[in-house]
Structure 1
């Protein structure tokens, strides 16, 4: 994966391919796309905001970049859901880089628009009215909208010729009327060259990222030129905050939505028995649940080793998490802070995690502790998480192992740029069809970008006029656009297989820990044997979805 050194000076890309490269680049590619925004409605229905004027609407890349940057780098924003399997900072940097490329293009277009449009405003308004009527006619489903639109443009063209040949006034005004409707056409020609070069550049970056060899995201605005460059220093700090936030150990469980950022629960296994002294011991050595949790975490750390060549489990991590439960419909999550949550930035301190692990949580609300083993598989397309929770009630020790899965992102993120084509009936042979390749940039696209360019300094107004994209809450760059885990045989099999070695390591650590504390392990060993038998036929079950009654 490509990362940037954001310290002052030249930015030098650093390459170190990791397990999350594919999804990171797929998400980043959306920032450079020129697809219609409506193409994203299948991914997040109801989140596309319509505007007042169709000629000012954003395309997918423009809307996506603006929405992601505003949500992740805003001065006053809600916390983000962790994006497992994604380098969130890299995705945001690509959004910033795409915005910078478009801003450079819009600065040129703004000059063209002001010179050829504003100075000859009457002619410009005449052409804009024609294109607006043409856009309105495209909503017609009669099949004749193209003919009507062409007639409208032809009518304006005829007016332009008449004004150029025989202006209605004389003197200097006659010269103005001669060029009034022709100057916007000249401006359109220059704007088309600018738009075409920009589109070709953006499409090349889009293709490169999807194919896995895209360029690094350079963000000069995040490199302070000196101590007085507060704007760049602020952006650099916001990117650092975003990166630090992804390392949080405080996570949220939202009922049927599952563990936010890690997906829904698909399986659960329990081992429980009464704690009794081992034979020959009058009593067993007391312990805290944190002691057992730490022992389990240490044993899980050895999953990467195997006596068989290439048998170690790849791309996994073991961490102690704090789980908070929130309502299914909650649109905001919390982070460490305040007297009840002893946090250091976005990470709860070790002593606070240990205190929660040792706390009796039965019958009480509040955060709970779990040992998390997480696998980032299929280049980030699959996130498998296995949580281990320890509960002691009276002298009954219960270990619960539960599996969570987060599936691949929507297929639209891996789509490559395609040439614009039109399938139509052949002239003279209406029973046959032909595919005609259309220009990469048409007249409507040139007008759209030329009109949006002067609003580059007023993004709020532009969003009101043209519309944009909303984001689901609570928002996470990875979890916002996932599809079903079980749609792929390889991915579903890997989810099921990832739980088996974790359960085996947990039960082995449990038995060893009990032996060390002079506790009878015969009851636990019997239950472990039953549990391992159940694992021979493990399959996904419906959890957190209960029938009404």
Structure 2
């Protein structure tokens, strides 16, 4: 594997691209770590190609909310020692998202430490009473979603019955002495513990919602993860976490991607348009031969011209600075559940070396093997839109083919951009009953306090919580960005940006290629004529399912 020999020392740094303009998508995904909504809401973000799942647990009292399940799933998938290869998250910084998941988990652990103390003092010492209360709350949660009104009434009646039993025990008992005192205490102590737990959970809920709000409002709330900073050479856990984060960032900037048939290039989106220029290589002068050249010579000239896209004759804004990179594209099955990155001597820190890229460009144009693509990528709308134009040059016999394809990755699902709503209920005024007022509700209700208190002792045993409470099953092959991306065509300006980028890129590619052909003694009349035809056709660009071949 490519990561087996990865060097995490300061001397072997991978030159990373700037992350400017990628904050909106990153912070939207990071905000999921702080959410307190039901875990099943993640199912609303499923796309046509990528579907998350929620694996139910055995006890509803131990089920996680969205923030807890999301943080746990992302940490295990992206930092786990035995994790599979990841898909790049273009338009986002996945390390930032993972750091917020770690920070949210740390905040919850601090809360759970205090809740565990409350459970030990007011629950474990009075275990029979605690079990009675928990049985009632479990019964309420089990039948809370029932459509049968009699079932819902049964849960409420059970809770009232236990409350009546508590009052009866406090007033009159058939015996006295120590057991009378203990019997009273075991039914009352869990209620006292619940009141303390409510104060603890309320303060944490306010902190988590403030972070959720700040991320989506563009605030600079940072993720504090001191556990990722080794304090001494013997602190192996912190060092391993630091290396896992460094490995994650290095893999994010890998120059190998995967083409999954109709799903398109994973991380870049489906192919919505394709324009091909394919003409015969004929000498410009009769009786003379063409000066020899290879595909890489054409690609290199196109690369140099694409880097000038941000410059134009008029000062009208125009293109931002694009990212122009060479990509090695590997084919995988449409329904493949994992990918494998190339390894060996030609790979260094997930980066395929330049000489190997050049060899693939020149030699692997037909038959089995990976292919070379030159890509120009625009990250727009604060990372919410990623436009990628890919160029491949092939020479078969006497035909030169230059293919330009357009890929577009839309914004993250609106679930991740939803800000927290205050918990209020509209009620009538007591005197002026025809008027209403919004009454503030507590952030954490009675059932939620019980759920958090019961989960707290199991926080240090995450696999136990996953089994009994349930978890999120992430779509594979997994990448943070493309897993929850919507189509850009539903947004008018995003769709316009994607289609406007095609024409100038196509013209720059053709102009650079024709210039190389002219320098090597090729008759470029046919290429120029075909380029003019494509230049006219591309002005009628419209999003299509090019990879399905049904346009």
Shift of 1:324: 0.7
Q: Is residue 488 of structure 1 aligned with residue 491 of structure 2?
A: yes
Q: Which residue of 2 aligns with 1:12?
A: none
CA displacement, residues 128-158 of structure 1 (integer Å, 9 cap, x when unaligned): 1111122223132244555443332221112
Q: Which residue of 2 aligns with 1:179?
A: 185
In 2, Cα distance between equivalents of 1:502 and 1:546: 23
Q: Please give the TM-score of this superposition, normalised by the length of structure 2.
A: 0.92
Q: Please give the TM-score of this superposition, normalised by the length of structure 1.
A: 0.93
Contact 1:164/1:177 (8 A) holds in 2: no
Shift of 1:294: 0.9
Q: State which of 432, 454, 461 in structure 2 corresponds to 1:451.
A: 454
Shift of 1:484: 1.6
Residue 181 of structure 1 aligns to a residue whose secondary structure is helix
Q: Is residue 313 of structure 1 aligned with residue 319 of structure 2?
A: yes
Residue 534 of structure 1 aligns to a residue whose secondary structure is helix
In 2, Cα distance between equivalents of 1:167 and 1:74: 56
Contact 2:385/2:411 (8 A) holds in 1: yes
In 2, Cα distance between equivalents of 1:196 and 1:337: 50
In 2, Cα distance between equivalents of 1:239 and 1:309: 41
Shift of 1:427: 10
Q: Is residue 343 of structure 1 aligned with residue 369 of structure 2?
A: no
Between the two proteins, the alignment pairs up a number of residues equal to: 533
CA displacement, residues 471-520 of structure 1 (integer Å, 9 cap, x when unaligned): 00000000000112210110101000111111011011011111221211
In 2, Cα distance between equivalents of 1:422 and 1:133: 26
Most deviating of 193-202 and 211-220: 211-220
Q: Which residue of 2 aligns with 1:140?
A: 146
Q: Which residue of 2 aligns with 1:13?
A: none
Q: Is residue 511 of structure 1 aligned with residue 514 of structure 2?
A: yes
In 1, Cα distance between equivalents of 2:435 and 2:179: 54
Residue 547 of structure 2 aligns to a residue whose secondary structure is coil
Q: Is residue 29 of structure 1 aligned with residue 31 of structure 2?
A: yes
Q: Which residue of 2 aligns with 1:352?
A: 356
Contact 2:36/2:65 (8 A) holds in 1: yes
- Map 1:57-456 → 2, pairs under 5 A: 57-143=63-149, 147-279=153-285, 282-338=288-344, 342-362=346-366, 364-422=367-425, 437-456=440-459
Shift of 1:399: 0.3
Q: Which residue of 1 aligns with 2:14?
A: none
In 2, Cα distance between equivalents of 1:301 and 1:317: 8
Residue 548 of structure 2 aligns to a residue whose secondary structure is coil
In 1, Cα distance between equivalents of 2:434 and 2:134: 38
Q: Which residue of 1 aligns with 2:15?
A: none
Shift of 1:170: 2.8
In 1, Cα distance between equivalents of 2:486 and 2:323: 23
Contact 1:315/1:376 (8 A) holds in 2: no
In 1, Cα distance between equivalents of 2:521 and 2:9: 55
Shift of 1:365: 1.4
Residue 373 of structure 1 aligns to a residue whose secondary structure is strand
Contact 2:146/2:152 (8 A) holds in 1: no
CA displacement, residues 323-342 of structure 1 (integer Å, 9 cap, x when unaligned): 11111010111112147xx2
Residue 49 of structure 1 aligns to a residue whose secondary structure is strand
Shift of 1:172: 1.8
Q: State which of 43, 49, 56 in structure 1 corresponds to 2:55.
A: 49
In 2, Cα distance between equivalents of 1:310 and 1:473: 42
In 1, Cα distance between equivalents of 2:385 and 2:283: 43
In 1, Cα distance between equivalents of 2:419 and 2:91: 21
In 2, Cα distance between equivalents of 1:229 and 1:434: 55
Shift of 1:281: 7.1
Shift of 1:312: 4.2
Gaps of 5+ in 2: 1-7, 11-17
CA spacing shift, 1:106–1:469, aligned 2, 3 Å: same
Contact 1:7/1:223 (8 A) holds in 2: no
Q: State which of 512, 527, 530 in structure 2 corresponds to 1:527.
A: 530
Residue 375 of structure 2 aligns to a residue whose secondary structure is strand
Shift of 1:214: 4.0
Residue 369 of structure 1 aligns to a residue whose secondary structure is strand
Q: Is residue 464 of structure 1 aligned with residue 463 of structure 2?
A: no
Contact 1:315/1:377 (8 A) holds in 2: no
Most deviating of 158-167 and 499-508: 158-167
CA displacement, residues 495-546 of structure 1 (integer Å, 9 cap, x when unaligned): 0011111101101101111122121111111111111111222222231214
Most deviating of 68-77 and 527-536: 527-536
Gaps of 5+ in 1: 1-5, 9-15
